[in-house]
Chains A and B, each alone.
Chain A
Amino acid sequence: MTEVPLSSSALPTVVKLAGIQLHYGKQVALAGIDLEIPAGCMVGLIGPDGVGKSSLLALVAGARAIQKGCLEVLGGDMSCKRHRDSICPRIAYMPQGLGKNLYPTLSVEENLQFFARLFGHGHSERRRRIDDLTRSTGLHGFLDRPAGKLSGGMKQKLGLCCSLIHDPDLLILDEPTTGVDPLARAQFWELIARIRRQRPQMSVVVATAYMDEAQRFDWLVAMDDGALLATGTPKELLERTDSDSLESAFIALLPEEKKHGYAPVTIPPLAQDDDEVAIEAQGLTMRFGDFIAVNHVSFRIRRGEIFGFLGSNGCGKSTTMKMLTGLLPASEGQAWLFGKLVDPRDIDTRRRVGYMSQAFSLYGELTVEQNLVLHARLFQVPEAEIAARVDEMVSRFTLQGVRSSLPESLPLGIRQRLSLAVAMVHKPELLILDEPTSGVDPIARDNFWRLMIELARRDRVTIFISTHFMNEAERCDRMSMMHAGRVLDSDSPAALVEKRGASTLEEAFIGYLTEAGADEQGQVTETPSASATTVPHSAVKYRAFSIQRLLSYTWREALELRRDPVRGTLALLGSLILMLVMGYGISLDVEDLSYAVLDRDQTTLSNSYALNLSGSRYFIEQSPLTGYTDMDQRMRSGDIALAIEIPPGFGRDVKRGSQVEIGAWIDGAMPQRAETIRGYMQGIHRQWLAEQAGQATTPGGSAAASVETRFRYNPDVQSLPAMVPAVIPLLLMMLPAMLTALAVVREKELGSIINLYVTPVTRSEFLIGKQLPYIALAVLNFLLMALLSVTLFGVPITGSFLTLLLAVVIYSIIATGMGLLASTLTRSQIAAMFFAMIGTLIPAVQFSGMIDPVSSLEGTGRFIGTIYPTSYMLTITRGVFSKALNLGDLYPLFVPLLIAVPTIMGLSIFLLKNQER
C-alpha cells in the first residue's frame, strides 16, 4: 500500500454526500449522512453487516435512486439523469456477494466480452484489454471456464477485471474479499495496488468487514446503524480511541448503550484430565463425480474441546461436517462419534449431536418458542420436561423478549443465538457449528463466543466449529487449516504460528497455502504498465442508443438460454408437448357415444329403429338393457351416455297410426356433450320418420322445403382442424411471454440487473436486446408447431404460409413484449411466471374466440376480446390454415397487431426502473 502521509483536508473530493437518507419501508438504512470522500486514494468503509455500507455504495454508484439529500459524484449531481449517463462510463461498481454481477453460465472470456461490448470497445480493442487484464490477474489460463465454476477468489478477480475493462476513474468495491481465502485476499489487494500504481488518478472506495484489511487503507469511514461513527486515517482512529487494533477501536467508537456489558472474551484453559475422544475421522473423502470435495481428512477431537476448521468458501469445511452428522454418506474413510461408527441410518446418535448449519436455517414461519418446542419434541425430549427445558434455553440465551416473535423479524445476532438455543435444546454432548458467526457484528460475535465457551468449559460440550475469521480461529483449543479439500495441518493456533515461524495466524495460514501450491492458479505476471492507459476513455463517447449494446445483451441472453436445460426444454419442447395435449384434449368432437336400447316391443319395426341408430358413426351400441334397474345402474356408472326405450306394442301402434312415444334418456353430466347428443338424436329420429314416410303411405310426410347445410372450411366438422389453428396462437402467446418474463426477473433475483443500473446500457437496449432471442425462439417454435400440425395432426395449411409467418413474427414481438411487461411489474420469478400465465392464458383461452367467437361475448369479455391481440391472430391463423386466405384478404387484421407492438413495448420500457428504488 502506498504510505503517503495523508491529512484529511486539503484534498479534492470525488464524492460529496449531504444529508443523505435512505429508508426501506419503515426501516432506516441511512440516517442523514454528511461525508466528503477524498479523491485519488483508497477509502475504506468499515462496520459490521447491515449498517448501511452497501446502501451508501449503491447510491454513490448510481445503482439506487436517491430518496433524500444531496449527492455529488465526480463533480455533478447524481439525481440528474444526464449527469449519471455521462459519468457512468467513468465509474465501476462491484456489488457485494461473490460474482454477483457476473453471469455464472458464461465463461470468463464471455463475461469480459460482454462488459467490454457494453462500454463500446471495438473488436481488437476488446481482445487487447481482455488479454491484458487476464494476464495480469492470472485468469488467462481459465478463459474457457464458466464463471460459476471458479473459486471465490478467482470470481472476485474476474469481477474486478469486468469492472476495470473500461478504465474507470472511480472504483467502488462492496466487500470484495468476504469469504475469500487469505492468500487470494492478499493477491487481490496486491492487484488493486498495482492498478493504482498504473493509474494513480483512480479513486477506490471499498467496504469491508475485515478490520485487518482496513488497516492498510488510506482513509477510513466507520459506520454503525446507518450513521457515521468517525472518519480519518487508520492511524488517527487508533490514536483517537487509544487502542491497538482497529477492531477494538471500532468497539470503542460505538455508542455507550451498544457496548454495555462488553468485555473482551477470555478463554479458561482446557482441563487436560479427560482423554475421551468425541470425534474421530480417518481418511474421510467425498467425491461429487470427478470433483473431490474432501480429500482424506483425518482428525481427533477430545471431549470438551473447542475445535476449529479454518478455510475459505468451498474448501470442504461444510461437506466434512455433513459427513460427520450423517447428512452425507462418505465416499471413503470412516468417522466415529463417541466411539461409534457414523451411520446415516442410526437415528440414536443424532440425539447426542446438535447441528447448526451455515446461514440461518430455522423455520421462519414458526415463532421462537414454537421452534424450540418443535425441536425438543423431534429430539424426543420427554413431554413433561419440555416446558422447563424451553424456559431454561430462553433464559440462558436471553431470548425472553422475543419468545413469540417470528425469527425473520429479528436481527441477525439474535437469530444466531436462537439457532444455538435450538441446537442445544436436547442437551447434546457434541455441537457441530458451520460458520455460525458470518455476517454478525463484532459485539454479537463476542457474546456468541462467550456462550460457547461456557458450554464447553462448564457443561463439557464438545464444540466443532468452522470459520473464516482469523481471530475466531485463534480462540479455539485446537484447529485445522483446510484448503481444497485437504487438511494442511492441525494443532493449537499458537503452535501452528510457531511451526511456520510466522507472526500471526493469517501469515501462518498463507504460508501453509503457498506450500500446498494454492497460489499457482493465482500467479500474477506484471505487464508493461503503459498498455492499460494508452486509450484515453474520451474515445468512448456516450450515445443515447447503441445497437452494439443492444446486441451484446442479445448475444449474452442467447448464450445463457443455451446453457440452462430446464428453460431450454420448456422453450423448445414445451409448445410441442402442450400442443399435443391440447390438440387431443380440447376435443369438441362427440363421437363413439355408447348407447343401449331397452326394446320392449321386439318387432321388425322396433328393430329398424335401433338399427338406424347403430348405423350412425356417432353411436356405438352396447348390449341391450334388461330393465329399468339395469338402465339406472349403467347410466350412473357412465357406462352408457344414452338410453332408448321402445314401448311395448310400438310396431302395432305405429301401423294403426295411433300416438306412440319413444323414450330417450341422455346423460346430462357434461352439458356440452348432452346438447350434442340431443341434436344427433333429433336428426336421426327425423330421418327415420322420413324413411318410414317413404315406405308407408302416411300422408303429409313430404316437406314443403328443405335446408341444405354446407359446413365450410372443415367439411367433416372435426375437432382437430378447428382446434389446431386455434392452439397455435395460444401457445405462441403463453410460452414466449413466460420465458421472457423470467429472463428479466431472473436478473433482478440474481442481482445482475445491477449492470443495467450502472453501465451505459439504456432501458430500451436492455429490454429489446433481451427480447430478440426469444422472438427468434418463438418463430422457431411456430415452425415446429406448423410441422407437427401438417404431419401428425394432418391439418394442412391451405393459404399463404408467408402471410402467416409475417403475422407470427409481429405476434411474437407482442407476446415477448407481454412477458417484458409482466417482468417490469414483479420482483420474483414465481410472481412473474404467475403474472405472465394469468395475463396470457385467461384472455387467450376465454375471450379471444378460441371456443366462442368474440362477437358472441358480452360486457367485459367482449371488451377484452376486442383489444387482445390473440383475437386477431386467431382469425389470421384460421384464415391461413383452413380458409385458404392470403395477405390480400387478411391485411385489415394486421393493423391491430401493428398498433399493439409500440404500445406494449413503450409501456414496458416506461415501467422498467433504471435505478433501484
Chain B
Amino acid sequence: MHSVLTIYRLGVKELWSLIRDPVMLVLIVYVCSISVYTKATALPESLHMAPIAVVDEDNSPLSGRISTAFYPPQFATPDLISLTEVDPGLDAGHYTFVLNIPPNFQRDVLAGLAPQVQLNIDATRMSQAFTGNGYIQQIVMDEINEFTQRYRSNSAPPVDLALRVSFNPGLEKAWFGSLMSIIDNITMLSIILTGAALIREREHGTIEHLLAMPVTPTEIMLAKVWSMGLVVLVSALLSLYLVVSWALQVPIAGSVALFTVGAALHLFATTSMGIFLATLSRNMPQFGMLMVLVLLPLQLLSGGATPRESMPEVVQHIMLLAPTTHFVELGQAILYRGAGIDVVWTQFLFLILIGSTLFAFSLSRFRKAIGQMA
C-alpha cells in the first residue's frame, strides 16, 4: 500500500517536472498537432504531376490526340522531344516516362497492323513507375479505341471486374498518414519522455537524492512508466480526436477504447525501453544518438511505413520481437478495419509478453546502473 502511494507521488512529481519543461511541451504539442497534420496532407497522391515526354515520329491526328491526353494533375504537360533527346532526358532524371509513337503509326493502326507504342520508364522511381505504367497504357488504348471506332467504346467486355476498396474507398492517403503518424508518435514520445525523465534526474543529481530516501528502484521506474505513459496516451487521444477526426475528417472505423488498451500495453513496453536506453547513455546527446539508431528501425521495419510482407523473411522474423510490429498491426486492424478483440487478441498477447520481458530486463539493468549514477 505504501509502495503504491510512493509510486503515485513520484509519478505526480514527474508530471510537474514535465509541465515546467517548455521544450518537451512544445515537442509534444508539435508532434501531436502540426506534425500529424502535415504528414497526413503532405503525402502526394501516388501519381501527381508525373514528368512525361512524348516522341512523336508520326505527326498524325492520332498521335497528336495521344500527346494531348496527358494533363495535370496526374501528369505534367508532356514535353515534345526528339528521339535523340530520350536517353539524356531519362539519364538526367528530367522525365520518368517517355512515350515513343513510331512513324506511320496512324496508318498502321487503321490498316489493322496492330503497331506498338514504346513506353520508356525510369524504374529507379518506383513510386511513379508502377502506377504510371497502368495509367498510361489505359489512356493510350482508350485514345486509340476512340479514334478507330469514332466513339468511345461501350461494348463492355463480357466479364467485368468490379474492384472495390474496403476500409478506405477513396484510397485517401491522409487517412493512412494521419493514423500512422499517431502510432509512430506514441512510440517516439514514450521513449523520449521516459528517457529524458531519467537523464534529467541523473544530470541534476536528484537520482542520488531519491535513493537516499525510503524509495526503491522499482518504485522510481514504475512512477516514470505510469506518468509518462499517461501523458503520451492522453496526447495521442487528443490528437486522434482533435486533429485526425475533427480537423482532417478521417473516419475511425473501430473502437477507440480497444485501441487505447492496446496503446497502454504498447506503452508499457516502450517506456521500459526508454528507461533502458537512458541507463546506457551518460547524457542527453548520447541518448539522442542512441535513439536515432533504435527508433528508425523500430518504425521503418514495423510494417507501418511499408508492408511487412515485402521485407526479407529474416527481417520479418526479427521484427516479431519488436513491440512496434504488433502495435502497428493492431492499430491498423482496429482503426482502419474496425476489428474487435476477437481478431486482435494475438497482438495483445504478444504486447503483454514483450512488455513484461522488456520491463523486467530494464528494471534489472536500472538497478545495476543506478549505483553508478549516484
- Contact surface of A with B, Cβ cutoff 8 Å: 322, 325-329, 347-348, 350-351, 353, 355, 357-359, 361-366, 370, 374-375, 377-380, 406, 566-567, 570, 574, 577-578, 581-582, 584-594, 633, 635-638, 654, 657-676, 678-679, 681-683, 685, 689, 692, 698, 700, 702-715, 717, 719, 721-723, 725-726, 738, 742, 746, 828-830, 833-834, 837, 846, 849, 851-853, 855-858, 861, 875, 878-879, 882-883, 885, 889, 892-893
Contact = CB atoms under 8 A, between A and B. Distances in A.
A889 B89 CA distance: 11
Contacts of A851: 127
Contacts of A362: 206, 209
A678 B300 CA distance: 24
Given A636-B343, A710-B118, A833-B289, A705 B337 contact: no
A889 B371 CA distance: 61
Given A590-B130, A666-B166, A837-B292, 18 more contacts: A351-B214, A353-B212, A361-B209, A363-B13, A363-B204, A581-B301, A584-B301, A635-B166, A657-B158, A676-B131, A679-B134, A705-B117, A707-B119, A707-B137, A708-B118, A712-B90, A829-B288, A853-B51
Contacts of B296: 578, 581-582, 585
Interface in B278-323: 281, 283-286, 288-290, 292-293, 296-297, 300-301, 305-307, 309-312, 315
A633 B343 contact: yes
Interface stretch (B15-23, B183-191, B258-266): B15-23
Nearest to A367: B16
Contacts of A322: 208, 374
A914 B153 CA distance: 75
B212 A325 contact: yes
10 contacts: A359-B205, A363-B206, A574-B292, A586-B300, A638-B332, A706-B116, A709-B133, A710-B118, A714-B126, A853-B128
Contact of A681 (B156, B163, B290): B163
A823 to B, nearest CB: 12
Top 3 A-B residue pairs of the complex, sorted by shortest distance between their CB atoms: A585-B300, A668-B168, A714-B123
Contact of B175 (A375, A661, A671, A833): A671
Contacts of B338: 636
Interface in B190-232: 204-206, 208-216
Given A707-B116, A852-B128, A855-B76, A698 B311 contact: no
Contacts of A683: 134
B49 A637 contact: no
Interface of B: 2, 5-6, 9-10, 13, 16-17, 19-21, 42, 44, 46, 48-51, 76, 88, 90-94, 96, 105, 108-109, 112, 114-131, 133-134, 136-137, 140-141, 144-145, 148, 155-169, 171-173, 175-176, 204-206, 208-216, 281, 283-286, 288-290, 292-293, 296-297, 300-301, 305-307, 309-312, 315, 329, 332-333, 336-339, 343-344, 371, 374
A668 B91 CA distance: 35
A566 B125 contact: no
Contacts of A689: 157, 159
B123 A722 contact: yes
Contact of A577 (B46, B123, B284, B293): B293
Given A667-B167, A707-B116, A856 B76 contact: yes
A585 B297 contact: yes
Which of B90, B92, B108: most chain A CB closer than 10 A?
A: B92
B170 to A, nearest CB: 8
A357 B210 CA distance: 11
A689 B105 CA distance: 25
B310 A375 contact: no
Contacts of B76: 855-856
A577 B290 CA distance: 12
Given A375-B213, A713-B124, A587 B176 contact: no
Nearest to A688: B159
A325 B115 CA distance: 91
Nearest to A828: B284
Which of B131, B157, B300, B338: most chain A CB closer than 10 A?
A: B157
B17 A366 contact: yes
A23 to B, nearest CB: 23
Contacts, number: 364
Contacts of B162: 661-664
B160 A660 contact: yes
Nearest to B282: A566
B123 A674 contact: no
Contacts of B114: 702-706
A674 B168 contact: yes
A853 B290 CA distance: 31
B205 A366 contact: no
A144 to B, nearest CB: 25
A638 B337 contact: yes
Given A664-B161, A852-B44, A328 B297 contact: no
Contacts of B281: 566
B167 A590 contact: no
B309 A704 contact: no
B321 to A, nearest CB: 15
Contact of A669 (B137, B167, B204, B211): B167
Contacts of B9: 374, 377-378
B129 A711 contact: yes
A241 B212 CA distance: 45
B161 A681 contact: yes
A708 B116 contact: yes
A713 B123 CA distance: 6
Contacts of A707: 116-119, 136-137, 140-141
A584 B114 CA distance: 42
A675 B158 CA distance: 25
Contacts of A378: 6, 9-10, 210, 213-215
Contact of A721 (B117, B124, B128): B124
Given A566-B281, A670-B307, A365 B17 contact: yes
B374 A587 contact: no
B309 A856 contact: no
B300 A742 contact: no
B286 A638 contact: no
Which of A358, A660, A717, A852: most chain B CB closer than 10 A?
A: A852
A885 B306 CA distance: 30
A671 B20 CA distance: 41
A574 B17 contact: no
B54 to A, nearest CB: 13
A636 B333 contact: yes
Contact of A361 (B20, B163, B205): B205
B44 A380 contact: no
A779 B49 CA distance: 35
B121 A709 contact: yes
A830 B281 CA distance: 13
B246 to A, nearest CB: 21
Contacts of B50: 856
A856 B310 contact: no
Contacts of A666: 163-166
A669 B168 contact: yes
Contacts of B343: 633, 636-637
A392 B298 CA distance: 52
Contacts of A889: 88, 91-92
Contact of B285 (A355, A578, A829, A893): A829
B117 A708 contact: yes
A429 to B, nearest CB: 15
A714 B164 contact: no
A633 B10 CA distance: 44
Nearest to B299: A585
Contact of A588 (B88, B119, B126, B285): B126
Given A365-B16, A375-B213, A742-B285, A662 B165 contact: no
B285 A350 contact: no
Contacts of B48: 852, 856
A592 B310 contact: yes
Contacts of A710: 118-121
